[in-house]
Amino acid sequence: MVMYWCRCAQVSAWPGASNDSGRPPMTRHLRTLLLLPLAALLAGCEIDTAAWMIEGKEHALIINRERPYFWSDQYEMAVVVSRMPTCQRRFDMKPARLNTAVVTVFDGGEPNRYLLRQGSSRWYAVNTNDCVFAVIEKPATEPAPIGTFRKKGEEFTFVPVKKDADPS
């Protein structure tokens, strides 16, 4: 009886090492054919991330949006509030339909406080001092916009609001 102790050698002489089910072992080609439909299902997923760098690379608001399957009709969305080295946290937002998956950033009235409007009706408040996130009611008056996370061409990006030129 010859036994091979390397991983690539077959140890069929060892009791219990053979395929005890009586079926032939799955070949590499059959396994590949079975994995192809799985690859096709995952090919339709879409993951986009865009960042607004507030004060350098350590202070930012980042929006993640993910379409997990090609048949999904909405994005799963999240915001990452980052002020390194103090804090960095990820918060889930409500899922958004494909055509309304935009997030507008507004001035929150205090330093490092920002309001986010997802679509046209969901409002959130974030504070980058201590990475706090809260769902809020629509403000009585719309604050000054800073920019919008949206698709521009083929890329999901942050688009700042154009400042009016000084009249002086």
pLDDT single digits (tens) 115-127 = 999 988 899 999 9
pLDDT at 125: 95
- Residue 105 or 86, more confident: 105
- Judged against a pLDDT cut of 90, whether residue 48 lies above it is answered with no
pLDDT at 78: 95
Does pLDDT of 114 surpass 80? yes
- Residue 117: both structure tokens together: 């409007």
pLDDT tens string 33-45: 676 666 655 556 7
The pLDDT of residue 44: 61
String of DSSP letters for 99-119: GG--EEEEE-SSTTEEEEEET
User: What average pLDDT does this structure show over 11-15?
Assistant: 48
Q: What is the pLDDT of residue 6?
A: 45
The structure's pTM equals: 0.70
Q: Which residues of 107-131 are buried (b: 16+ CB within 10 A; e: fewer)?
A: ebeeeeebbbbbeeebbbbbbbeeb
